[in-house]
Structure 1
């Protein structure tokens, strides 16, 4: 079975054509794959190879358009490093075509935006986020190495999110935003929380893990997370107010804090606590 799939996925045009000729009818082994196996197979393939499965048979022609996971991180962006972002085969154009042709829910979306690709704006990325907000997305990861990207308001309407990972972004929700009711894990690196949100509290009732690294204006990130269990804040010197508030969570059992602007004393409930001040590491 794996050998058949491997031969089909190869770039050799003649081998693929011979395979298709000998398996033209719908009774071949590929066409008769069980429904509950097709999506797991597609989701384990790079997106490029998943799209190529459209040549396997009539039944597989559009199956890639129903993939619940779009992994545009591992190896995907590297294919476009030598191509302009807006050329006919460019990075944003290809992803836009994938998003436009996709049907059904996208539960997981992973995106890597390399610094080598020239972006005049993030207009296309905003469109992808809008599509995600309409497709029941549960997990979003944006590894942005390009210009800083301001998260559009459409992301804050993704109320089914359970995991959110951002790098080099501006996290500024609309004033009417109340929170993510299902979000369990947040990992933010080099994220700026912008100007004060006027005291607006962001409710995260299911949040269990929060990791912040190198973030700015963190004191504007006013969150309520009563079920928080694990907290890690590194290189965020203005995060004192937020950390002090979160330390009162009765479920908190692991905390790692590094390089805050002042010491924190109220951690009597925390089972495991590590704290770094000016290069000195303490563990309680």
Structure 2
């Protein structure tokens, strides 16, 4: 075991903590409530100055004012933190807004991949030309250690890779991402062999399009577009990104959450394993449609999940089905009436 010389503070008191081995100090830093507090320990002594960079989980955010970094300084600081150590990374979170281009962000991603990162959480909006889309670095696509990928892109367009990749990816969350088309999503999901958890939060297509989610090993699926509503000049809410058709075909799916404005046409296939469903349609998204025209979609949606053990609905869903007299004609609704969790009652 490496032995460190005892250091003294100015008042003559021996600093026993700084004499502890690195792995003990890392455990102490890992136990702090926030990553910022771990960084602040760098002022304690020369021994602590760079100790936080050896943590297996890094969280860097340019919006935090830990130091008075200028733009270029933060750019080099992030890269230095990533290449300063050779230890494997359990997780790396980076939030840099629209301050940097994709070349810089790609450089950071590559450095994290070289450290065999397992969880990557990126929030950025790179400066791109009007006709340019974001492409994921090849090193990320082929990374054999990455298990969790979260992307928040501030509605920037993303080109999903068409080649087989992400050999270890189990969890994928796309938040505020513009997907180029439904076909690219379908092909991408087929190329992720181990994907089990997929979240599409406020993800849009550039035009009304079909979206097919077909994934052999997927167990959890969340589609939530509740925030994607624009208020027109007369105060009415209009949805510009409703999928024309949505098809879900996942034979191992256990949990489904579908919230926001549903597609006009729904198709569920091979959902026999589904155990729990959460369905929260948004009334404001379809206020221009009558209950009659929208009720058929709700009926098909209920038929697709009516065999589950746990079903959570909101009040709008119930109103549509009652208006369509679906409750009277289908005893399944009565069967699940005692077990449904009705939300948003106000």
TM (norm. structure 1) is 0.70
Deviation at 1:94, TM superposition (A): 1.9
Q: Secondary structure at the match of 2:177?
A: coil
Match of 2:110 in 1: 130
Q: 1:50 to 1:79 in 2, by over 3 A?
A: closer
RMSD of aligned residue pairs (Cα, Å):
3.8
Structure 2 runs not aligned, ≥5 long: 1-6, 129-133, 229-240, 288-293, 295-315, 319-339, 341-346
Shift in alpha-carbon separation, 1:51–1:147, aligned structure 2, 3 A = same
1:56 counterpart residue number: 45
Shift, 1:80, TM fit: 8.6
Matched, 1:228 2:219: yes
Measure, in 2, the Cα distance between the counterparts of 1:210 and 1:191: 11
Contact map agreement 1:77 1:113 (CA 8 A) in 2 = yes
- Deviation, 1:51, is 7.2
Alignment partners' CA distance in 2, 1:109 and 1:274: 32
Structure 1 residue 143: Cα displacement: 1.7
Match of 1:5 in 2: none
Q: 1:215 aligns with which of 199, 204, 210?
A: 204
1:262 aligned to 261, 264, 269, which one?
A: 264
The counterpart of 1:33, out of the listed 20, 32, 50, is: 20
- Secondary structure at the residue paired with 2:28? helix
- Equivalent residue of 1:190, what SS? strand
Query: 1:66 aligns to what?
Result: 54
Match of residue 279, structure 2, among 268, 274, 280: 274
Structure 1 or 2: larger strand share?
2
Q: Which blocks of at least 5 consecutive residues in structure 1 are unaligned?
A: 1-16
Structure 2 length-normalised TM: 0.59
Alignment check: 8 A CA contact 2:36 2:66 kept:
no
Determine the structure 2 residue equivalent to 1:46: 35
